[in-house]
């Protein structure tokens, strides 16, 4: 499997307030961030600590805005049980989810920035959900999650990536080149942050699959790319995106 894979993106905006009805510019800003982050052409990739620089990877994915669907709703918050993904529960049905990445932008509530469905789930609920104040890098976005990295992280899950700490104490993210680390990092840690006897360089906390601030996450690795490419191969869960 070689070359760039194009991912058409449909953005479904469900709003109660005018601020939640995010602008076209805010939507496009998110697409632009995705294209930079997934190709390692984001300017801050240069902040990667020198020992980790050889791991930095271009995923060879191109995100193209394929459509925007908008809907007004009286609902204040949507939670994480997929109600926003179905018109029968007041949301918006996914548009051709086997050939489009559907993103729902709506207020999740509970301090949750976003959530994602891993490959292999039901097509009707496939995609990612992001709250409007964390989507894109302009308009209604709120620091310290104002650089569009919530979608980068959630689309990482949609591409089959696990959290870098493996969701358990010194857990396994199923990627060989990411060091084992004790747990999630928050804020903006100082390099090196050593845990789990992970050597002089410590945690790869600047990876998009950690929980640090948007300004402090800026790279994926070659091992993560290998894991994501597998789902686009013949027989893979997202082979329909690679006709
Ligand atoms: N699923 C995580 C949450 O909702 C997303 C974390 C994204 N991190 C970020 N810096 N944008 O908490
Ligand atoms: Zn996550
Ligand atoms: Ca690992």
DSSP labels for 34-71? HHHHTTT--GGGGGS-GGGGGGB----EEEEEEEEEEE
Give the pLDDT score at 113: 98
Q: Is the peptide bond between 192 and the residue preceding it cis, with omega within 30 degrees of 0? A: yes
Q: Which ligand is nearest to the CA of 131?
A: 1
Q: Examine the pLDDT at 183 and tell me if it is beyond 90.
A: yes
Mark out the alpha helices in 77-163 (DSSP H runs).
Answer: 149-158
Dist. CA 148–CA 155, nearest whole Å: 11
| pLDDT, mean of residues 9-19 | 98
3-state secondary structure of 193: strand
pTM of the model: 0.98
Pocket test for ligand 1, best of 80, 113, 162 (most atoms within 8 A of CB): 113
The count of residues in the chain is 243
Active site (annotated) includes residue 60: no
Dist. CA 240–CA 225, nearest whole Å: 18
Q: Examine the pLDDT at 1 and tell me if it is beyond 80.
A: no
Give the pLDDT score at 243: 83
| pLDDT, mean of residues 183-210 | 98
Give the pLDDT score at 128: 99
Q: What is the mean pLDDT of the chain?
A: 98
Give the pLDDT score at 157: 99
Q: Whose CA is nearest to atom 7 of ligand 1?
A: 150
| pLDDT, mean of residues 183-211 | 98
Dist. CA 48–CA 29, nearest whole Å: 23
Which atom of ligand 1 is nearest to 114's Cα? 4
The pair of three-digit structure tokens given for residue 51, joined into one six-digit string: 């020992």
Give the pLDDT score at 138: 98
Give the pLDDT score at 168: 98
């Amino acid at each position: 499997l070689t070359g760039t894979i194009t991912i058409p993106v449909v953005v479904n905006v469900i709003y109660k307030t005018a601020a939640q009805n995010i602008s076209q510019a805010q939507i496009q800003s998110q697409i632009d961030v995705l294209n930079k982050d997934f190709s390692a052409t984001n300017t801050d990739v240069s902040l990667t600590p020198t020992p980790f620089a050889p791991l930095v990877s271009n995923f060879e994915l191109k995100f193209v805005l394929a459509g925007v669907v908008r809907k007004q709703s009286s609902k204040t918050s949507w939670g994480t049980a997929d109600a926003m993904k179905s018109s029968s529960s007041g949301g918006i049905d996914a548009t051709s989810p086997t050939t489009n990445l559907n993103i729902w932008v709506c207020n999740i509530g509970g301090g949750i920035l976003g959530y994602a469905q891993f490959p292999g789930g039901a097509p009707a609920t496939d995609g990612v959900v992001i709250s409007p104040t964390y989507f894109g890098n302009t308009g209604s976005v709120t620091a310290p999650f104002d650089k569009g990295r919530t979608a980068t992280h959630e689309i990482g899950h949609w591409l089959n990536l696990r959290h870098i700490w493996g969701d358990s104490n010194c857990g396994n993210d199923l990627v060989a080149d990411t060091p084992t680390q004790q747990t999630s990092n928050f804020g903006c840690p100082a390099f090196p942050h050593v845990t789990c006897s992970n050597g002089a360089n410590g945690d790869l906390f600047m990876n998009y699959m950690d929980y640090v601030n948007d300004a402090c996450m800026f790279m994926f690795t070659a091992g993560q790319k290998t894991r994501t490419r597998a789902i686009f191969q013949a027989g893979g869960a997202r082979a329909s995106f690679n006709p």
